[in-house]
Amino acid sequence: MATAELIAETPVAAEVAELVARSRAAQAQIENATQEQVDTWIRGMVYAVCKPGMDEEIARETVEETQLGNYEGKFKKISVKTRATLYDIIDDKSVGVIDEIPERNIVKLAKPVGVIGALSPSTNPEATPVIKAISAVKGRNSIIICPHPRAKFINAKICNLMRDALVKMGAPADLVIPIEQPSVEKTNEVMKQCDRILATGGTPMVKAAYSSGTPALGVGVGNAVITVDDTADLDDAAAKILLSKTLDYAASCSSDNAVILLDAIYDTMLEKLKAKGGFIIEGENKTKLQNAIWEDGEHINAKVVAQSAKFIADYAGFAIPEGTAFFIVPETGYGPDYKFSGEKMTVTMALYRAKDIDEAIRLTNAIQGYQGQGHSCGIYSQSDANIMKLAEGTKTSRVMVNQPQSASNSGNVWNGMRQTFSLGCGSWGGNGTNNNVTWRDLINETWVSKPLAQHKVIPSDEALFGKDIIALVG
């Protein structure tokens, strides 16, 4: 049976096939675009959504529609994160020869993939469509964006602003197409029919992306574990943990889910966290909070995700002091019998105590062995030895040093990480890459190999293997 006949078997498949055909036609028009053209287009796409006034409008409407996070967090993402992402990639060469290896006489040429199928989550629906769209167009691709149903209106608005900007700059509007009435079936069809999937969202959708038969770039579960050692600047650490834990009410998968304090600074650092608005949850309140976050004992309750501490406390049924910004839950164990050791998607952190950096590493691996392995961890320290020991001893793709985790590991102006909302977690997290996913992951590369001026000469066995190996094995 022909592919077209297969696609037309269901109304949803036929509807998506029409969108993919439009997207493919638009992509064909820019397949030979110049570097100057694509860079002009992505500048216009970002400005259309982040320009003064529009950024405020999008931030406000995102909170109104999704009822997740807060205005300040959404504003930073649509106004600052989009600008930072553009700045991060604007000078990258993505057309023609993009890399050369003179010693191997190899050059690499960039080629577009085609139609990118992108998933956009309800927790970051303001900047995700923009970042994914400019990454696609930077590689001379088109993109179809499938939003979470809870964010369909803001997704359509953002995509239409980018479409209007593209037309004004002489490019096809259909380089960016939103799914305006999303459904799981429709998203699955986009993933089947596109050329590459860029998946950001819950575990079921990421698994569906990998199972679609289309090459996919997915992300793993976040459960960031942060260590504070006895050399750290404790005031700095407390301020940055507050920022990271409460940014957009912990909508980010990079929010501090567990904090490990070394014995020597435990009491002092805990007081500093309490002074920053941390409220300790123990006893009956711990049970109430657990029941509020995990409604059936297993799955995170969507009603409390990315909500304020006051909202969650009222929902759970306990009182908190005025000024409480986040919850601190002292914990000793990890795994399914210790729910707070996992990802919480709320302004809640588990608190652990370790005698030294070695125990902190053991705890980090145990916690992330339950959830979050491969994603990220962090450390506040002035000891390069401790920093490198943590990095070497943990199964993680990224380690943030003396930085607010949720605002840093996806890239920020104070570090060199690539700007993105798609964080590969490597084989540890069931992903094919450890990268901060950007346009470079959304292209094909042609390697051009010319003969070496002087051929390589395989050395003698003695030089290649060494006398010891020859004697031992032979």
Residues 411, 436 contacting (CB under 8 angstroms): yes
- Asked whether the beta carbons of 76 and 15 are under 8 A apart, the reply is no
Q: CA 383, CA 389: separation in Å to the nearest integer?
A: 10
Mean pLDDT over residues 262-274, rounded?
98
Per-residue pLDDT of 112-170, as tens digits, reads: 999 999 999 999 999 999 999 999 999 999 999 999 999 999 999 999 999 999 999 99
Q: What number is the average pLDDT over the span 91-119?
A: 97
| pLDDT (tens digit per residue) in 63-83 | 999 999 999 999 999 999 999
Assess whether 159 carries a catalytic annotation.
no
How many Å separate Cα 426 from the centre of its chain? 13
Spatial CA neighbour of 454 closest among 9, 164, 178, 105: 105
Q: How far is CA 68 from CA 342, 376, 456, in A?
A: 20, 23, 60
pLDDT number for residue 203: 73
Q: pLDDT confidence of 205, banded at 50, 70, 90?
A: confident
Whether the CA torsion 329, 333, 339, 345 is positive or negative: it is positive
The CATH classification of domain 225-411, taken from the options 3.40.50.1450, 3.50.50.60, 3.30.450.40, 3.40.309.10: 3.40.309.10
Residue 294: beta bridge partners? 300
More confident residue, 225 or 211: 225
Torsion of CA 124, 177, 143, 222, to 10 degrees: 20
Confidence at 8, pLDDT banded by 50, 70, 90: low
- Per residue, what are the HEC states of 94-160? CCEEEEEEHHHCEEEEEEECCEEEEEECCCCCCCHHHHHHHHHHHCCCEEEEEECHHHHHHHHHHHH
* pLDDT > 70? residue 6: no
pTM of the full structure = 0.93
Strand 106-112 relative to strand 115-120, pairing: unpaired
Domain parsing of the chain, residue ranges: 11-218+442-448, 225-411
Distance of alpha carbon 346 from alpha carbon 309, whole angstroms: 8
Q: CA–CA separation, 109 vs 197, rounded Å?
A: 22
| Mean pLDDT, the chain, whole residue set | 95
Cα 194 to chain centroid distance, Å, stands at 21
Does pLDDT of 260 surpass 50?
A: yes
Q: What pLDDT is stored for residue 207 in this prediction?
A: 80
Give the whole-number percent of the chain exceeding pLDDT 70.
98
Which member of 50, 159, 194, 253 is catalytic?
Answer: 253
Secondary structure class of 322 (helix, strand, coil): coil
Two tokens at 217? 């770039």
- How is domain 11-218+442-448 classified at the architecture level of CATH? 3-Layer(aba) Sandwich (3.40)
Least confident of 1-10, 273-282, 371-380, 411-420: 1-10
DSSP state of 300: B
pLDDT of residue 220: 83
% of the chain beyond a pLDDT of 90 = 91
Output the pLDDT for position 216.
87
Predicted confidence band of residue 5 (pLDDT cuts 50, 70, 90): very low
Q: Residue 297: its pLDDT value, please?
A: 79
pLDDT tens profile 360-410: 999 999 999 999 999 999 999 999 999 999 999 999 999 999 999 999 999
Write the pLDDT tens digit of every residue in 11-68: 999 999 999 999 999 999 999 999 999 999 999 999 999 999 999 999 999 999 999 9
Digit-coded pLDDT (tens) for 459-468: 999 999 999 9
Lowest mean pLDDT among 104-118, 235-249, 288-302: 288-302
Span 250-259, average pLDDT: 94
Note the pLDDT of residue 168.
98
Predicted pLDDT of residue 208: 81
What is the H or E stretch that residue 279 is in? strand 278-280
- Structure confidence at residue 1 (pLDDT): 38
Instruction: Decide which of 279 and 210 is more confident.
Output: 279
- Residue 464 is predicted with a pLDDT of 97
Residue 200 has pLDDT above 80, yes or no: no
Q: Which among 314, 338, 420 has a CA at the least distance from the CA of 77?
A: 420
Evaluate if residue 3 carries a pLDDT over 70: no
DSSP alpha helices (H): ranges in 212-354?
234-246, 266-275, 283-293, 309-316
State mean pLDDT over 253-276. 97
